[in-house]
Amino acid sequence: MTMRISRAGLVSALVVVSGALIASAGARTLAAPEVTVSGFSPTTAIVGQLITITGQNLDGTNSVTFAKTPSQSVSVDPYGTWIKAVVPPGVAPGDVYITLDVMGTPQSVGPLHINSGSMPPQANPQPAPAKGSTPAPVKVVVAPRIISVSPTAGRIGTVVRIHGANLSGTSWVSFGGVRTTHLVVLSSSMVTATVPRHARSGKLMIHTSGGTSGTNLRFRVAGAAGL
């Protein structure tokens, strides 16, 4: 008898614990954010006019209807604080209610007084994406790199071939600090540059949108001071 009571007590205890766990799991279930509509403006309009509806958690809005006529121009704030909709053709003059379909649940506000007449639909541009959405791709800019120069010495007017990497968009080449305006970008790995007047012996430098790079060896300019 004692053993049977002990088992019954154990079963009872398990049932209580299971119920507590289920209740605890239910307590941790998050409810969907509450949708609220706080107002709209203007309160009087004509067909074609833009109406702004304000509230909270409106970002799930699928459609906006004036009386029984859906708007064909709706923009939704990604932060859920407003909806903008143009009064569609077919809405009769008088007091009408605005109904939002927010994730399948209707939310109504009004009445909005519609006057006789109409106007071309007002512009209703879409807002910018909310923070946390996929950003625009970032353009990666890489500095140029010189691998070799041929020849490594020459007179004014000599055409020098520069071999390297990331040379597309080269804007200038300098010989001993003097830039040349005569250059040709053949590819991302080759540029030709003409030794300019007043060039001096020294490092050959190349510049692109990614930065400036130079050679480790001096380029010798024949006839220049310091040769």
Q: What is the mean pLDDT of residues 200-207?
A: 92
Does the pLDDT of residue 18 top 60, yes or no?
no
Q: What is the mean pLDDT of residues 195-208?
A: 92
Cβ atoms of residues 195 and 179 within 8 Å = no
- CATH number for the region 145-221 comes to 2.60.40.10
Alpha-carbon dihedral of residues 121, 123, 127, 128, nearest 10 degrees?
150
The pLDDT value given to residue 135 = 53
The pLDDT value given to residue 216 = 81
Q: What is the mean pLDDT of residues 166-192?
A: 92
In 3D, which of 209, 207, 220 has the Cα closest to residue 175?
Answer: 220
Instruction: Classify 36-118 by CATH class.
Output: mainly beta
What percentage of the chain has pLDDT greater than the value 70? 78
User: How far, in Å, CA of 132 to CA of 163, rounded?
Assistant: 43
3-state percent breakdown (helix, strand, coil) of the chain, nearest 5: 10, 45, 40
Choice among 5-19, 68-82, 113-127 with the minimum mean pLDDT:
5-19
Choice among 39-43, 138-142, 204-208 with the minimum mean pLDDT:
138-142
Instruction: For 59-73, give one letter per residue: b (16+ CB within 10 A) or e.
Output: bbbeebbbbeeebeb
User: How far, in Å, CA of 86 to CA of 184, rounded?
Assistant: 56
Is 145-221 in the same CATH topology as 36-118?
yes
pTM: 0.46
Residue extents of the structural domains in the chain: 36-118, 145-221
Helix (H, G, I), strand (E, B) or coil at 7: helix
The pLDDT value given to residue 182 = 92
pLDDT digits (tens, 9 = 90+) for 125-155: 888 776 665 555 555 567 899 999 999 999 9
The pLDDT value given to residue 114 = 94
pLDDT digits (tens, 9 = 90+) for 63-113: 999 999 999 999 999 988 999 999 999 999 999 999 999 888 899 898 999
